Amino acid sequence: MVKIGVLALQGAVSEHIRSIEACGAQAITVKSKSDLALVDGLILPGGESTAMRKLIDRFEMLEPLQQFAAAGKPMFGTCAGLILLAKKLVGYDFSHISVLDAKVERNSFGRQVDSFETSLAIKDIAEDFPAVFIRAPHIVGVGEDVEVLARFEGKIVMARQGYLLGCSFHPELTADHRITAYFTEMVEDSLALTVNI
């Protein structure tokens, strides 16, 4: 059984845990470097990216997270997690984990009161995914190795680069586990590749 961690410093952690377990994988809360060493893949949940970064720094997790990605282990960022993964942020001269070759703009779809749900077509996953957008970012542009998986009103809202996956919305806030299942397969593929080398 693959072990998928959820960065549990802030944000929608329990919802991701439930979705991982629904997909038949083992879910592990990750709060430290030692926790990170236990997992085969990692989800960075939605929440507040500034608060998350402060906690990442406080617990000295930034370099271990970057090393996790550099080792080719799958990472999936949702909403604030997407912001943490991106190499570039609109309006900022710094980034966070900085591994996904994408430029991201924060709060692209309005404030909390402007939250909405829409049916989204996602390449290789679903024609009708119930995507929940809450103070969501969007991807302004991507590098040549990044595949765009979904757009909403012309804006990129989901993309993949190798074993890195990011989306603007909150798949964990629905009863639809197809995106988590897709990430679980990414983790399984990564482990199979490691075994075969």
Which CATH class name applies to 3-196? alpha beta
134-176 pLDDT, tens digit each:
989 999 999 999 999 999 999 999 999 999 999 999 999 999 9
For residue 146, the 8-state DSSP code is P
Does the pLDDT of residue 121 top 60, yes or no?
yes
**Predicted pLDDT at 12:** 83
For this structure, is 79 an active site residue?
yes
Residue identified by tokens 């960065």 is: 7
Of the candidates 16, 79, 96, 167, the residue annotated as catalytic is 79
Model's pTM, two decimal places? 0.94
For this structure, is 170 an active site residue?
yes
Of the candidates 16, 23, 172, 177, the residue annotated as catalytic is 172
Query: Distance between CA 184 and CA 35 in Å, rounded?
Result: 18
Of the candidates 16, 96, 138, 170, the residue annotated as catalytic is 170
Alpha helix locations (H) across 105-177?
none
User: Cα dist. 63→57, 69, 96, 97, 106 in Å?
Assistant: 9, 10, 10, 8, 23
Average pLDDT, whole number, for the chain? 93
